[in-house]
């Protein structure tokens, strides 16, 4: 007990408290960026700085000029004929009341699928539905772009994007 001087122990004592707080501040610093919900992060469009860093990004991203989808049409199922204008916000499809398109379809889940814009295209993503979402007869396993006129089937309901 006596071979370590009091001074060393005091230094170590305060050093350890300092270390504890260094850890906390590093963690907060690491989280700082993550705490912000930026619009850029949401859409995945590279920032100006990122484009400056690797110029090929800027060239890779110019969106193909195509006809824009302007509305969503239900072509089959209980809601046949219903149209929904497409804005810039994502669309939730399902039986839940908060869904943008409330499907009165026994084969649809509460929160079945999500249709969201990214760049100039719309993507469909299954939200873990029981019966699955089919894009042109292929079951979705990840988010996929929906082209105009390609049928998306949810239960007995089929929807399409129209210009």
Partner 1 sequence: MTKTDGAPKPRRNIELLLLLLALSVGIGANALVGVDQEKAFDSDFWFQSSLLAVAALLFHVVLRLRAKYADPVILPLVVALNGLGLAMIHRLDGPDSETGNDQLRWTLVAMAVAVAVIWFLKDHRILRRFTYISLAVSALLLLLPLIPGISAGEILGARVWIRLGPWTFQPGEIAKITLAIFFAGYLSSNRDLILLAGRKIGPLQFPRFKDMGPMITAWLVSIGVLIFQRDLGSSVLFFGLFIVMIYVATSRVSWVVIGVGLILGGGFVASRVFSHVGLRIDGWLNAFTPEVYDRQFGGSLQIVQGLFGMASGGLVGTGLGQGSPNTVPFANSDMIIASFGEELGLIGLFAIVLMYLLLFTRGFRAALGTRDAFGKLLACGLSFAIALQCFVVIGGVTRLIPLTGLTTPFLAAGGSSLLANWIIVGLLLMISHTARSPVDTTPLPPGTETDTRQAVPAIPGQPGSPAPPANHANPD
Q: Binding to partner 1 by residue 12, rule CB under 8 A?
A: yes
- Cβ-in-10-Å burial (0-12, 13-18, 19+) of 35 comes to exposed
> Using CB under 8 A, which residues numbered 88 to 147 contact partner 1?
89-90, 92, 96-98, 110-111, 114, 116, 118, 123, 125, 127-128, 138, 141-145
- Of 35 and 65, nearer to partner 1 (C-beta) is 35
CB of 39 to partner 1, least distance (A): 8
Contact status: 57 vs partner 1 (CB under 8 A): yes
3-state secondary structure of 113: strand
Q: Does 84 bind partner 1 (CB under 8 A)?
A: no
Of 47 and 80, the one with the shorter C-beta distance to partner 1 is 47
Considering only 15-23, 62-70, 72-80, 152-160, which stretch makes contact with partner 1 by CB under 8 A? 15-23
Q: Cβ-count burial of 75 within 10 angstroms (0-12 exposed, 13-18 middle, 19+ buried)?
A: middle
């Amino acid at each position: 007990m006596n071979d370590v001087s009091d001074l060393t122990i005091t230094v170590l004592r305060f050093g350890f408290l300092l270390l504890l707080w260094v850890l906390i501040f590093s963690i907060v610093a690491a989280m700082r960026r993550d705490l912000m919900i930026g619009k850029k992060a949401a859409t995945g469009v590279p920032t100006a700085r990122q484009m400056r860093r690797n110029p090929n990004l800027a060239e890779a991203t110019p969106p193909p000029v195509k006809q824009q989808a302007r509305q969503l049409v239900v072509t089959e199922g209980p809601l046949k004929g219903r149209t929904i204008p497409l804005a810039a916000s994502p669309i939730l499809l399902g039986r839940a009341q908060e869904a943008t398109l409330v499907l009165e379809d026994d084969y649809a889940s509460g929160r079945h699928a999500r249709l969201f814009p990214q760049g100039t295209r719309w993507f469909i993503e299954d939200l873990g539905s029981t019966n699955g979402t089919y894009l042109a007869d292929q079951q979705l396993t990840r988010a996929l772009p929906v082209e105009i006129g390609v049928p998306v089937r949810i239960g007995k309901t089929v929807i399409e994007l129209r210009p």
